[in-house]
Amino acid sequence: MNKLNTIEVKELTKVFDKDVKAVNGISFTVTKGEILGFLGPNGAGKTTTLNMLSTLLRPTSGTAKINGNDIQKEPDEVRRSIGYVFQDTTLDIELTGKENLDFHGRLYGLDRVTREKRVKEVLELVKLTDRADGLVKTYSGGMKRRLEIARGLLHHPEVLFLDEPTLGLDPQTRRSIWEHILTLNEEKKITVILTTHYTEEADYLCNRILIIDSGKVVVLDTPDNLKARLQGDVVSLTVKNQKLIEKLRPNLENKEWVHKINIVAAGNNYAAMSRMMHVTATDSSKTQTKSESKNNENHKTEKNLQLDGKKCPRCLNLLLDNGGHRIPEIVKIAAEAGITLESVELRKPTLDDVFLSVTGRNIREQEGSFIDMVRRHRIMRQARGKPRR
Amino acid sequence: MVQPISGQAIYVVLLREIKRYWRAKPRVISSVAQSIFFLAIFGLGLGNFVGPVGDVNYLSYMAPGVIGMGLLFGSVFSGVSVIFDRQFGFMKEMLVAPVSRTSIIIGKILGGSSTATIQGIILLVIASLMGAFVPSFAFIVGSFAAVGAMLLITSGFVGLGVAIGSSLNDFHAFQLLSTFVMWPLFMLSGVFFPIDGAPFLLQVAMLADPMFYGVELLRWCLIGSGTAILGPLSWLISLVVVIGFNALMIGLGTYMFSKAQI
């Protein structure tokens, strides 16, 4: 095993109930001190993968090593070297914050002196020292999450798993948790795997992002590389109604400086790109070189691409170069066609666009069962500190 | 791979059970109050109507059974609480830690047994204050023996609770559990009426009820005599049955828990 790889995963697979392949042959490696993000929609297999890596679930096939310890053959060593902050709260709300930490410390075999010292240390780290003696049920959602992160660190693990760490939290708390994670990673060189469906979170925190969909690795690369694959700018236009779009489109389609054009999904312009590049599901070890990406880019046989899902029939997206300079021309073209544009938006491709382009789906259009939806809703309410209905 | 049993883990699971029990004061108070009502209303009311059972008055006859009721419900619900742990996620915290499931179970059983026994002791004190028992040296000795019996009886039922809680996945099965398991176990344990005069089928049912032997053991400790059907050595028979039931239930509980998925 390569000494620098803290985590090595080979062809990890989990099949439930004979048919459901929650995780389908995932392979990747993580180097020491890296923050790796698993980005994917609900049901992609992120949590199941973490559950296998943390020895809570037995894989159906495949192997993984954490810090040199095999997850199936040496589970105790694995457990000792990882911390896991779960998606739902796993705190005992009838105990105090300090008691939760003490409990954890004893389970991980810390002696009294070490325990007391570390409890103090982590409480200071997440700024919960003055609330430590209160019952956890009096904590807000953000405080609970901070306590859980504190708890995950108590035994100084080498690897930290964070499952949707900021799900359901307000923007301020999210920022503060992000800063905590980054500080930890810098100061203590903890390797982190975090799962999220928030693309901006993945973008901000992660050294590399693994996009996972339907149990498979779709792509694994740094955020910058991923965004660079979508070359150019995005200009989004809205007009009054669909008829006008049909009128406007041909006038823009034939312009050679327009790389791609399409009709956008409803609501959020951000998530509204169609296939911008041809990436098929690859082995994670194969990352595309710059020249390969270029070749794929030139594969623009289809300029007009439609999206599945809800459409916003009066919205149009263009991928082109030098968006800022093309806007006056676009407005002119529309005016010449007798169409008034309601809005024009210029932006750089975001990870949402990348996600959509590699998976063909909008990350926010969650598929997944009704139960999943209810459960996520409950988690979000929990995170906000609301009582169970 | 055999994981060592961790004393720390056992201790901390046990401690958690006790802390949680103690902090749920309304629950403690209401379950104690329930037993007081039983004793007072049935013991005195029905007692007047029914008259003495053997050579003890009805209240004295009932008291060990009512204590047993407190033990039964307390211990089974304590064991079944693993289902809450699972639903509310705390179980995951325990399972991802480097401790064996066996340690967790032992802690759970000791914890559940202790809290149920505390409840039993409270009931014992209250029953004594109500005049259910004859104050004497024998009684004092018997009380200590009774506490030992309580610990024994409750551990088995915590094991049963864990076995059930590990196989249930939701709360609705609770209703079924309560109606079809708990109440029959309680009612057939000889709390309200002696087995001796009962119809044959009922006697069979009662002899099949493990709680019957638990109550019998308590009765021996606290009153000094038991039912006629098992003969003069009924305390010994009861003890053996209780211990056997314990071993079986603890084994079953441990097994079911180790197989439970998160």
In total, chain A counts a number of residues equal to 389
Q: What is the mean pLDDT of residues A195-206?
A: 89
Q: What is the mean pLDDT of residues A332-345?
A: 87
Helix (H, G, I), strand (E, B) or coil at B96: coil
**Is the separation of the CB atoms in B181 and B163 below 8 Å?**
no
Residue B119: how many other CB atoms lie within 10 Å: 24
Please name the member of B20, B88, B94 whose beta carbon is closest to the beta carbon of A107: B94
CA angle B122, B253, B101 (to 5 degrees): 105
Subunit contact A75:B1, Cβ cutoff 8 A: yes
Which comes out higher in pLDDT, residue B51 or A363? B51
- A chain contacts of residue B9, beta-carbon cutoff 8 Å: 106-107
CATH code where residue A140 lies: 3.40.50.300
Residues A33 and A169 occupy one common structural domain: yes
d(CA B93, CA A54): 11
- What's the pLDDT band for A382 if we cut at 50, 70, 90? low
Is residue B242 in some structural domain?
Answer: yes
Strand partners, A5: A31
Residues A212 and A234 occupy one common structural domain: no
d(CA B214, CA A152): 44
What distance in Å separates residue B15's CA from the closest CA in chain A? Answer: 9
| Residue at B54: amino acid letter | G
Subunit contact B89:A89, Cβ cutoff 8 A: yes
What distance in Å separates residue A187's CA from the closest CA in chain B? Answer: 24
Residues A152 and A44 occupy one common structural domain: yes
Please name the member of A92, A106, A151 whose beta carbon is closest to the beta carbon of B8: A106
- A chain contacts of residue B6, beta-carbon cutoff 8 Å: 107, 109
- What's the pLDDT band for A380 if we cut at 50, 70, 90? low
Whether the per-residue pLDDT at A286 is higher than 50: the answer is no
Strand partners, B76: none
d(CA A180, CA A152): 13
Subunit contact B9:A91, Cβ cutoff 8 A: no
Which residue of chain B comes nearest to A48, CA vs CA? B262
Subunit contact B1:A88, Cβ cutoff 8 A: no
Please give the pLDDT value at position B178: 76
Is residue B2 in some structural domain?
Answer: no
Is residue A43 in some structural domain?
Answer: yes
Domain that holds residue A39: 5-226
- Of A179, A194, A226, the last residue of a domain is A226
Residues A91 and A194 occupy one common structural domain: yes
Average predicted confidence (pLDDT) for chain A = 78
Which residue of chain B comes nearest to A89, CA vs CA? B89
Residues A170 and A212 occupy one common structural domain: yes
Is residue A388 in some structural domain?
Answer: no
Is residue A377 in some structural domain?
Answer: no
Q: What is the mean pLDDT of residues A134-143?
A: 90
Instruction: Tell me phi and psi for residue A194, to 5 degrees.
Output: -125, 140
Helix (H, G, I), strand (E, B) or coil at B99: coil
Is residue A389 in some structural domain?
Answer: no
Q: Tens digit of pLDDT for each residue in B165-193?
A: 888 777 677 778 778 888 889 888 888 88
d(CA B222, CA B60): 9
Residues A236 and A333 occupy one common structural domain: yes
Structure tokens at B211: 């709680």
Please name the member of A76, A90, A151 whose beta carbon is closest to the beta carbon of B92: A90
Instruction: Tell me phi and psi for residue A47, to 5 degrees.
Output: -65, -40
- Of A195, A226, A257, the last residue of a domain is A226
What distance in Å separates residue B262's CA from the closest CA in chain A? Answer: 7
Is residue A173 in some structural domain?
Answer: yes
Residues A125 and A269 occupy one common structural domain: no
Please give the pLDDT value at position A309: 34
Please name the member of A56, A77, A79 whose beta carbon is closest to the beta carbon of B262: A56
Is residue A370 in some structural domain?
Answer: no
**Is the separation of the CB atoms in A231 and A42 below 8 Å?**
no
Give yes or no for A21 touching B (CB within 8 A).
no
Which residue, among A254, A255, A263, A250, has the nearest Cα to A337 in the 3D structure? Answer: A250
Q: What is the mean pLDDT of residues A66-95?
A: 90
d(CA B260, CA B254): 10
Is residue A367 in some structural domain?
Answer: no
Structure tokens at A85: 């902050």
d(CA A243, CA A316): 12
Q: Tens digit of pLDDT for each residue in A151-188?
A: 998 998 999 999 998 888 888 888 888 888 898 889 88
Number of domains in chain A: 2
Subunit contact B96:A82, Cβ cutoff 8 A: yes
Residues A150 and A249 occupy one common structural domain: no
| Residue at B146: amino acid letter | A
Please name the member of A75, A79, A107 whose beta carbon is closest to the beta carbon of B12: A107
Number of domains in chain B: 1
Query: Which percentage of chain A shows pLDDT scores above 70?
Result: 77
- B chain contacts of residue A80, beta-carbon cutoff 8 Å: 98
CATH code where residue A348 lies: 3.30.70
Is residue B56 in some structural domain?
Answer: yes
In angstroms, the Cα distances linking A331 to A132, A156, A237, A303, B38 are 59, 58, 10, 21, 86
Please name the member of B23, B88, B97 whose beta carbon is closest to the beta carbon of A108: B97
- Of A162, A197, A226, the last residue of a domain is A226
Strand partners, B237: none
Q: What is the mean pLDDT of residues A44-70?
A: 91
Residue A94: how many other CB atoms lie within 10 Å: 17
Which residue of chain A comes nearest to B95, CA vs CA? A56
What distance in Å separates residue A39's CA from the closest CA in chain B? Answer: 23
Highest mean pLDDT pick, A280-294, B79-93, B145-159, B217-231 = B145-159
Highest mean pLDDT pick, A85-99, A342-356, B84-98, B131-145 = A85-99
Residues A197 and A306 occupy one common structural domain: no
- What's the pLDDT band for A389 if we cut at 50, 70, 90? very low
Please give the pLDDT value at position A283: 26
Domain that holds residue B35: 7-259
Is residue A60 in some structural domain?
Answer: yes
Whether the per-residue pLDDT at A90 is higher than 70: the answer is yes
Residue B197: how many other CB atoms lie within 10 Å: 11
- A chain contacts of residue B98, beta-carbon cutoff 8 Å: 76-77, 79-80, 107-109
Residues A178 and A58 occupy one common structural domain: yes
Please give the pLDDT value at position A295: 41
Which comes out higher in pLDDT, residue B248 or B197? B248
Residues A166 and A123 occupy one common structural domain: yes
Query: Which percentage of chain B shows pLDDT scores above 90?
Result: 15
Whether the per-residue pLDDT at B32 is higher than 60: the answer is yes
**Is the separation of the CB atoms in B174 and B79 below 8 Å?**
no
Whether the per-residue pLDDT at A266 is higher than 60: the answer is no
Residues A221 and A240 occupy one common structural domain: no
